[in-house]
Structure 1
Amino acid sequence: MEVLTMAQPKLPKTPVSIAEVVDKLAANHIVTPATDRFTGHFERLFRRSDSDDGAIVPRLHTGGLETRGVMVLGEPGSGKTALVRHHLQNHEGLVPIAGNDWSQYLHITVPSPATLKSVGLEILKKLHYPNISERAERWKIWEAVKHRLSLLGIKVLWIDEAHDLFSPSAARERDDILKTIKSLMQGEHAVVIVLSGTKLLGELTEVDLQVARRFSTVILSEISYASDGENLEGLIAHYAETAGLAVNFTDDLIQRLIYASGNQFGRAVELIVFAIEAALEEGAKQLGVEAFASAWALQEGCGFDENIFVARDWAMLPGPHEHATLADSKRKRGRK
Structure 2
Amino acid sequence: MTVPNALATIRAGLRPADLDVVATMERVKATYFATPTHGAVEKQLNVVLQQLLERRDPALPVGPDNVVEARGFVLSGQARAGKSRALSEVFRGHPSLPGYGDARADCPLVTVVPQGACTLGRFGQDVFEQLGLPIVNVPTGKNYELKLAHMIRNRLKIRGIKILHVDEAHHVTEPANKTEIKKIINMFKYLMIYLDWPVAVILSGIPELVSAIRNDPQLSGRMAFTAATGLVPKTDYRRIEHVVGELASVAELSIASGELAAVVPRLIHAGNRQLGRSIEITYDAIRSALTERQTALSLHTFARAYVQSRGVAPEHNPFVARDWRLTDPLLVLEKPPKQRLLRAQKVKRASLATDDDFDEEDEA
Kindly state the Cα deviation for residue 135 of structure 1 after the two structures are TM-superposed. Answer: 6.1
Q: Secondary structure at the match of 1:238?
A: helix
Higher mean C-alpha displacement, 220-229 vs 246-255: 246-255
* Structure-1 separation of matches of 2:246 and 2:166: 33
Q: What one-letter code is carried by the residue in structure 2 that aligns with 1:46?
A: L
- The residue that corresponds to 2:165 in the other structure is 158
- Output the CA distance in 1 between the equivalents of 2:150 and 2:67: 22
The equivalent of 1:23 in structure 2 is 26
Whole-Å separation in 1 of the counterparts to 2:249 and 2:306: 21
Q: Is the 8 A contact 2:73 2:223 kept in 1?
A: yes
Shift of residue 59, structure 1, vs aligned partner: 4.2
Where do 5+ consecutive residues of structure 1 fail to align? 1-12, 49-56, 328-336
Deviations 1:89-140 (A, max 9, x none): 222112259xx63422111111233111110111011112254314654433
In the alignment, is residue 204 of structure 1 matched against residue 198 of structure 2? no
Secondary structure (helix, strand or coil) at the match of 1:84 reads: helix
Size of the aligned set, in residue pairs, is 303
SS at match of 1:106: strand
Farther-moved stretch of structure 1 (143-152 vs 235-244): 235-244
Contact 2:192/2:198, CA 8 A, preserved across alignment: yes
* Greater fraction of residues in helix: 2
Q: Deviation at 1:25? A: 1.1
* Deviation of the 1:313 alpha carbon: 1.4
1:212-227, aligned counterparts within 5 Å?
212-227=220-235
TM (normalized to structure 1)? 0.84
Structure 2: runs of 5+ lacking an equivalent: 1-15, 58-65, 336-364
Measured in 2, the distance between the counterparts of 1:79 and 1:143 equals 33
RMSD: 2.2
The answer for the alignment partner of 2:279 in structure 1 is: 269
Q: How far, CA to CA, are the matches of 2:56 and 2:200 in structure 1?
A: 12
1:323 corresponds to 2:332: yes
Structure with bigger strand share is 1
Of the three residues 258, 261, 268, the one matched with 2:268 is 258
Aligned match for 2:253, one of 245, 257, 260: 245
Deviation at 1:282, TM superposition (A): 1.2
Q: Supply the AA of the counterpart residue of 1:302.
A: V
CA distance in 1, matches of 2:44, 2:55: 15
Determine which of 149, 154, 157 is the counterpart of 1:147: 154
Q: 1:183/1:256 Cα in 2 relative to 1: closer, same or farther (>3 Å)?
A: same
2:118 aligned residue: 114
Q: Does 1:175 align with 2:201?
A: no
- Tell me, what secondary structure is at the counterpart of 2:110? strand
Task: Please say if residues 59 and 67 of structure 1, whose CA atoms lie closer than 8 Å, have aligned partners that are also in contact.
Answer: no
1:125 aligned residue (126, 129, 152): 129
Q: Is the 8 A contact 1:60 1:66 kept in 2?
A: no
Q: Give runs of ≥4 in structure 1 deviating > 6 Å.
A: 60-63
**Structure 2 length-normalised TM:** 0.78
Of the three residues 106, 109, 113, the one matched with 1:105 is 109
**Letter paired with 1:230:** R
Secondary structure of 2:96's aligned partner? helix
Once the two structures are aligned, what percentage of the paired residues are identical? 23
Shift of 1:226: 0.8
Other-structure match for 1:78: 81
d(CA) in 2 for partners of 1:255, 1:167:
34
- Whether the aligned pair in 2 keeps the contact of 1:45 and 1:58 (CA below 8 Å) is no
Larger RCO, structures 1/2 (Cα 8 Å, 6+ apart): 1
Partner of 1:33: 36
